[in-house]
Chain A
Amino acid sequence: MNFFQQLADLFSNVTNITMPQVIMWIIGGVLIYLAIKKNMEPTLLLPMGFGAILVNLPLSGAVNQWAEGVLEEGPIDVLFNAGIANELFPLLLFIGIGAMIDFGPLLANPKLMIFGAAAQFGIFFTLCLANAVGFELKDAASIAIIGAADGPTSIFVANYFNSNYMGAIMVAAYSYMALVPIVQPPVIKLLTTKEERRIRMTNKDICVSKRTKILFPIVITIITGIVSPKSVALIGFLMFGNLIRECGVLDSLSETAQKVLANLVTLFLGLTIATKMQAEDFLSVRTLLIIGLGLFAFIFDTAGGVLFAKLLNLFLPKDKKINPMIGAAGISAFPMSARVVHKMGLEADNSNFLLMHAIGVNVSGQIASVIAGGMILNLIAR
């Protein structure tokens, strides 16, 4: 009898399993499936998927638990407090991202930056919509920044406003980044004619000096830091990463930032975000709304860039017209967005190469999304 009692005690935790937890295991499984089978942002979706399962096991020791009035700290909550609650992980990741980006195409044609700015329209439009459908202003701002298509900026802003929906925001941000090739083409096609998609843009071979490449990150940090001081950490770490890439004397550091640092932080970030994916917080109508609003932000970002290019074309002479599709590359999802535009350009005309222009706009979107994040931090009080 005693043996059976002990056996029953051993498996007593089975009775603590709840339906919401099982749903979260399925969601975790779907994220892992998308990461492995569909190759959708695997570096983040896989740790997030596994983390979702880890934190949703009954009485999971991976997260904080109260046992007989004593708080037993879980490693994922410890990591969250050490790396995300103080905004450290997204900033460290930005050093790696900065080291990966070549701003050459943008420096060769700096006017392209204007499209990066136009493509941030979706962020602010979604902010208005999210607030209008009932989210508090701070949460609306955190949701809107999904449209930045920039994971670290989304984490930074959501954490700054102490948003309750960080888990849903992260899942939406990274999923849509991976879904850029599916989300953007229909929007672009809807807003452009075939003739517009065939517009050719001349490729000029402009050599950017090393001095310009080195001074660029420093100047950007100073300008953005003065105008939007709250974004100085974001832009500063991004530009620091770029400076160690371009300076030419820190190749080993640059390589470490691009590979080891970025990979390590991404690993911790994905797993740690899962602490906000506990069934009781995650499974709600609000999560669905956030995912819907994220899609809305992406669509209007794309539309903002394309329509701005079309607007410019009204004033440009016939031989200087811009292919409006490059405006869509103004979102921060690098380099997927540029690839999508290039591919669509080739579909419309198989000898139309838009890649360099699209890459220039795409890297400018990276800077503009950080500026947009900074603007939101400046305009909305914590």
Chain B
Amino acid sequence: MKKLFVILMTLALILALPLCVMAEELSESTAEEITGEAMETTAEETTAEETTDEAVETIVEETETEYEMDFGFYPDTLRTTLPIMGMGMLGIFLVTCIIVLAVVVLSKFGKQKEE
């Protein structure tokens, strides 16, 4: 039992770094894609000289209202939230492992002093 927990903790600690890097890379790539899309949109907007500012504002307002009001299923959002989920669960397990180790050390320290 003890051995298993030690193995699990070590594994969690070893896995932590590459998983963190992977999650960061994933969020970076998502950010890059979003930036790319945004740049394309800006370019298109610049070429469309006839579009008036008022029309753009109306479109933006309509889009925002649509996002706020419409409930549906947007699987694209998982690209943002799954890395958060991975990082969050990993973070909790890591902190917990550290706390467990700290408590084990504390207990031993307490026992020795009592003896």
- B residues 1-50 touching A (CB-CB < 8 Å): 1, 4-5, 8
- Chain A contacts for B110, CB-based, 8 A: 208-212, 215
Point out the residues of chain A lying under 8 angstroms from B80, CB to CB. Answer: 131, 137
B103-A289 in contact (CB<8A): no
> With an 8 A cutoff between CB atoms, is A371 at the interface?
yes
Nearest B-chain residue to A215, judged by Cβ? B106
In the complex, what residues of B have CB within 8 A of residue A134's CB?
A: 67, 70-72, 74
Complex contacts, A120 vs chain B, CB 8 Å: 88-89, 92
Question: Which residues from chain B contact A371 at a C-beta distance below 8 Å?
Answer: 91-92, 95-96
Asked if A22 lies at the interface with its beta carbon under 8 angstroms from chain B, I say: no
Contact between A113 and B100, CB atoms less than 8 A apart: yes
Report the Cα distance A217→B111, complex, angstroms. 18
Chain A nearest Cβ from B98, distance in angstroms: 6
Q: B1, A320: Cβ atoms under 8 Å?
A: yes
Total residue contacts A-B, CB cutoff 8 A? 141
Nearest A residue to B93 via CB reads: A117
Does B94 contact A211, Cβ atoms closer than 8 Å? no
A133 to B114, CA, bound (A): 56
Residues of B within 8 A of A372 (CB): 88, 92
Q: A211 contacts B73, CB within 8 Å?
A: no
| Cα–Cα distance between A52 and B1 once the two chains are bound (Å) | 51
Q: How far is the CA of A219 from the CA of B106 in the complex (A)?
A: 9
Known: A113-B99, A114-B96, A117-B93. A133 touches B84 (CB 8 A): no
For residue A159, CB closer than 8 A to chain B, the reply is: no
* B63 contacts A by Cβ under 8 Å: no
Q: Is the CB of A124 within 8 A of B78?
A: no
Q: How far is the CA of A114 from the CA of B114 in the complex (A)?
A: 28
By a CB distance below 8 angstroms, the chain B residues around A368 are: 92, 96
A316 at the interface (CB under 8 A from B): yes
Rounded to whole Å, the gap between the CB of A113 and the closest CB of chain B is 5
Given A127-B85, A211-B109, check contact A133 B73 (CB 8 Å): yes
For chain A, the bracket of interface size reads 35 or more
Across-interface contacts of B73 in A (CB, < 8 A) = 132-133
Q: Which residues of B contact A227 (CB under 8 A)?
A: 91, 94-95, 98
Within 8 A of B (CB), among A275-295: 285-286, 289
Stretch at the interface among A78-86, A350-358, A373-381: A373-381
Is there contact, CB below 8 Å, between A128 and B113?
no
Q: Is the CB of B100 within 8 A of A121?
A: no
B65 within 8 A of A: no
Q: Within the complex, which residue of A127, A211, A220 is in contact with B99, where a contact is CB–CB below 8 Å?
A: A220
Partner of A110, one of B72, B88, B104, B111: B104
Residues in B52-88 with C-beta less than 8 Å from chain A: 67, 70-75, 77-78, 80-82, 84-85, 87-88
Report the bound CA distance from A106 to B71 in whole Å. Answer: 43
CB within 8 Å of B: which of A201-251?
Answer: 208-212, 215-216, 219-220, 223-224, 227-228
Question: Which residues 89-145 of A sit at the B interface, judged by CB distance below 8 A?
Answer: 106-107, 110-111, 113-114, 116-118, 120-121, 123-125, 127-128, 131-134, 137, 140
B-contacting residues, A178-219, CB 8 Å: 208-212, 215-216, 219
Per a CB cutoff under 8 Å, which of A124, A132, A224, A316 touches B75? A132
Residue of B whose beta carbon sits closest to that of A117 = B96
- Chain A contacts of B82 at CB under 8 A? 128
CB<8 Å pairs between A and B, sample of 22: A106-B103, A111-B100, A117-B89, A120-B92, A128-B77, A132-B78, A132-B81, A133-B73, A140-B81, A212-B107, A212-B109, A215-B106, A216-B103, A223-B102, A227-B98, A286-B71, A371-B91, A371-B96, A372-B88, A375-B91, A378-B91, A379-B84
Instruction: Report, nearest first, the 10 A-B pairs whose CB atoms are least far apart.
Output: A209-B110, A212-B110, A110-B103, A124-B85, A117-B96, A128-B81, A134-B71, A211-B110, A375-B88, A131-B77
Interface residues of B (CB under 8 A from A): 1, 4-5, 8, 67, 70-75, 77-78, 80-82, 84-85, 87-89, 91-100, 102-104, 106-107, 109-111, 113-114
Residues of A with Cβ closer than 8 Å to B?
106-107, 110-111, 113-114, 116-118, 120-121, 123-125, 127-128, 131-134, 137, 140, 208-212, 215-216, 219-220, 223-224, 227-228, 285-286, 289, 312, 315-316, 320, 364, 367-368, 371-372, 375-376, 378-380
